[in-house]
Chain A
Amino acid sequence: MGRALVLRRFKNVFWLANRDYKNEWQMSSFFVIALAAVLAPMMILFGLKFGIIGSMLDNLIEDPRNREIRPIGSGRYDRTWIENLRSQTGVNFIVPRTRAIAATIQLKSEKASRILSVEMLPTDRGDPLLNGLDIPTGLHQLVLSESAARKLKAGKGDKISGSLARRFRGRSERVHIDLTVVDIAKPGAFSRDGAFAPVYLVESAEAFRDGQAVPALGWKGDKPKDAGRTYPSFRLYTRSIYDVEPISKILLQQGIEVRTRAADIEIVRNMDRNLSAVFWLIAVIGLIGFSFSLGASLWANVDRKRKELSVLRLVGFRTGDIIWFPVIQSLFTGVLGWVSASLIYLGVAYTINEMFASQLESGDTVCRLLPEHFLIALGLTCTAAILAATLAGYRAARVEPSEGLRDI
Chain B
Amino acid sequence: MSSFSNERLGAPNPSSSRILIYHLRDVVKTREAEGVAFRLLVPSLQIAMGEKVALIGESGSGKSTLLDMLSMTLKPSEIGSFRFRPGAGAEPVDISEHWRKNRLNRLGDLRRQRIGYVMQTGGLLPYLTVRENIGLSRRLLNMPGDEMIEELAGNLGIRRHLDKLPHLLSVGERQRVAIGRALAHRPSIVIADEPTASLDPIAAEKIMSLFIELVDELHITVIIASHAWRHINRLGLRHLSHVTRRKENGHTTETVVSG
Q: Report A's interface with B, CB cutoff 8 A.
A: 8-9, 12, 16, 19-20, 22-24, 307-308, 311-319, 400-402, 405-407
Contact = CB atoms under 8 A, between A and B. Distances in A.
Nearest to A408: B59
Given A22-B127, A314-B73, A406-B193, A319 B113 contact: no
Contacts of B111: 314-316, 401
A406 B120 contact: yes
A306 to B, nearest CB: 11
A23 B68 contact: no
Given A314-B111, A316-B112, A23 B126 contact: yes
Nearest to B104: A319
Contacts of A319: 104-105
Contacts of B194: 406
B26 to A, nearest CB: 22
A405 to B, nearest CB: 5
B121 A19 contact: no
A279 to B, nearest CB: 40
A400 B73 contact: yes
Given A12-B139, A12-B140, A402-B74, A313 B127 contact: no
A312 B120 CA distance: 16
Contact of A318 (B108, B125, B132, B139): B108
Contacts of B126: 23, 308
Contact of B125 (A12, A308, A405, A407): A308
A382 to B, nearest CB: 23
Given A314-B73, A315-B112, A400-B74, 5 more contacts: A12-B139, A315-B181, A316-B111, A316-B140, A402-B68
B64 interface: yes
A189 B112 CA distance: 80
Contacts, number: 77
B210 interface: no
Interface string B56-83: 0000000010001001011000000000
Nearest 6 A/B pairs, CB to CB:
A316-B112, A23-B127, A401-B73, A402-B68, A402-B73, A19-B127
Contacts of B136: 315
B127 A405 contact: no
A315 B119 contact: no
7 contacts: A19-B125, A19-B128, A19-B132, A311-B123, A318-B108, A402-B74, A407-B120
A8 B142 contact: yes
Contacts of A8: 142
B137 interface: yes
Contacts of A314: 71, 73, 111, 117, 123
Nearest to B141: A316
A317 B123 contact: no
Interface in B172-186: 181
Nearest to B128: A19
Nearest to A18: B127
Contacts of B140: 9, 12, 315-317
B109 interface: yes
Name, among A312, A315, A317, A407, the residue most crowded by chain B CB atoms within 10 Å (CB to CB): A315
Contacts of A23: 126-127, 165
